[in-house]
Chains A and B, each alone.
Chain A
Amino acid sequence: MTGKTEVQNTAYRQTLLAGLWRENPVFRLLLGMCPTLAVTAAVKPAFTMGCCVIFVLVCSNIIISLMRDLLKPHLRILMFTLTIATFVTIADLFLKAFVPEMSETLGPYVPLIIVNCIIICRAEACASKNGIVISIVDAVGMGAGFTVTLCTLASIRELLSTGKIFEMQLMPEAFVPWAAMSMPVGAFITLGLMLGLVNKITNKEA
Chain B
Amino acid sequence: MDTLNILLMGFISIVIVNNLVFTKFLGICPYLGVSGRIDMAFGMGMAVTFVVTLSGTLTWLIDHLILMGTPLEVTRYVCFILVIAGAVQLVEMYLRKFFPSLYESFGIFLPLITTNCAILGMCLFINLWGIESLLEAVVLSFGAGIGFTMAICIMAGIRENLNMADVPKCLKGAPITLITAGILAMAFMGFAGMIR
Decide: A89 and B23 in contact? CB cutoff 8 A: no
Known A-B contacts A108-B124, A108-B125, A112-B117; the reply to A85 vs B77 at CB < 8 A is yes
Complex Cα spacing A125 to B33, Å: 20
* A88, CB-defined interface residue at 8 Å: yes
Which of B6-14, B38-46, B133-141, B173-181 touches A? B173-181
* A176, CB-defined interface residue at 8 Å: no
Q: Give the Cβ gap from A185 to chain B, nearest Cβ, in Å.
A: 5
Which of B60-68, B78-86, B158-166 touches A? B78-86
Q: Give the Cβ gap from B29 to chain A, nearest Cβ, in Å.
A: 6
Decide: B115 and A89 in contact? CB cutoff 8 A: no
Name the residue in A81, A107, A115 with the highest tally of chain B Cβ atoms < 10 Å from its Cβ.
A115
Q: Give the Cβ gap from B187 to chain A, nearest Cβ, in Å.
A: 9
CB within 8 Å of A: which of B1-33? 22-29, 32
Q: Which residues of B contact A200 (CB under 8 A)?
A: 170
Q: Give the Cβ gap from A36 to chain B, nearest Cβ, in Å.
A: 8
Q: Give the Cβ gap from B18 to chain A, nearest Cβ, in Å.
A: 11
* B186, CB-defined interface residue at 8 Å: yes
Decide: A192 and B115 in contact? CB cutoff 8 A: no
* A188, CB-defined interface residue at 8 Å: yes
Decide: B28 and A192 in contact? CB cutoff 8 A: no
Q: Choose among B24, B111, B176 the residue that contacts A192 (Cβ–Cβ < 8 A).
A: B176
Q: Which residues of B contact A54 (CB under 8 A)?
A: none
Decide: A196 and B168 in contact? CB cutoff 8 A: yes
How many residues of A are in contact with the other chain, CB < 8 A? 42
Decide: B120 and A111 in contact? CB cutoff 8 A: yes
Decide: A195 and B178 in contact? CB cutoff 8 A: yes
Q: Give the Cβ gap from B123 to chain A, nearest Cβ, in Å.
A: 9
Decide: B81 and A34 in contact? CB cutoff 8 A: no
Q: Which residues of B contact A193 (CB under 8 A)?
A: 175, 179
Q: Give the Cβ gap from B165 to chain A, nearest Cβ, in Å.
A: 15
* A30, CB-defined interface residue at 8 Å: yes
Q: Which residues of A contact B114 (CB under 8 A)?
A: 77, 81, 115
Complex Cα spacing A116 to B114, Å: 11
Decide: B32 and A33 in contact? CB cutoff 8 A: yes
Decide: B121 and A192 in contact? CB cutoff 8 A: no
Q: Choose among B26, B115, B182 the residue that contacts A188 (Cβ–Cβ < 8 A).
A: B182
Complex Cα spacing A69 to B131, Å: 43
Decide: A192 and B170 in contact? CB cutoff 8 A: no
Decide: B178 and A189 in contact? CB cutoff 8 A: yes
Q: Choose among B26, B76, B111, B179 the residue that contacts A77 (Cβ–Cβ < 8 A).
A: B111
Q: Which residues of A contact B115 (CB under 8 A)?
A: 81, 115, 117, 120
Decide: A37 and B25 in contact? CB cutoff 8 A: yes
Q: Which residues of B contact A199 (CB under 8 A)?
A: 169-172, 175
In the complex, what residue of chain B is closest to A84 when comparing beta carbons? Answer: B81
Complex Cα spacing A82 to B25, Å: 24
In the complex, what residue of chain A is closest to B192 when comparing beta carbons? Answer: A183
Q: Which residues of A contact B175 (CB under 8 A)?
A: 192-193, 195-196, 199
Decide: B117 and A30 in contact? CB cutoff 8 A: no
Q: Choose among B32, B169, B185 the residue that contacts A203 (Cβ–Cβ < 8 A).
A: B169
Decide: A82 and B81 in contact? CB cutoff 8 A: yes
* A11, CB-defined interface residue at 8 Å: no
Decide: B124 and A111 in contact? CB cutoff 8 A: yes
Decide: A78 and B85 in contact? CB cutoff 8 A: yes
Which 9 residue pairs across A and B have the least CB separation, nearest first?
Answer: A188-B182, A192-B178, A192-B179, A189-B182, A33-B28, A195-B175, A108-B124, A200-B170, A37-B25
Supply 19 further A-B pairs (C-beta < 8 A) apart from A115-B114, A196-B176. A33-B29, A34-B117, A38-B24, A81-B85, A81-B115, A108-B124, A112-B26, A112-B117, A114-B120, A180-B186, A184-B23, A185-B182, A185-B185, A188-B178, A192-B178, A192-B179, A192-B182, A195-B175, A199-B175
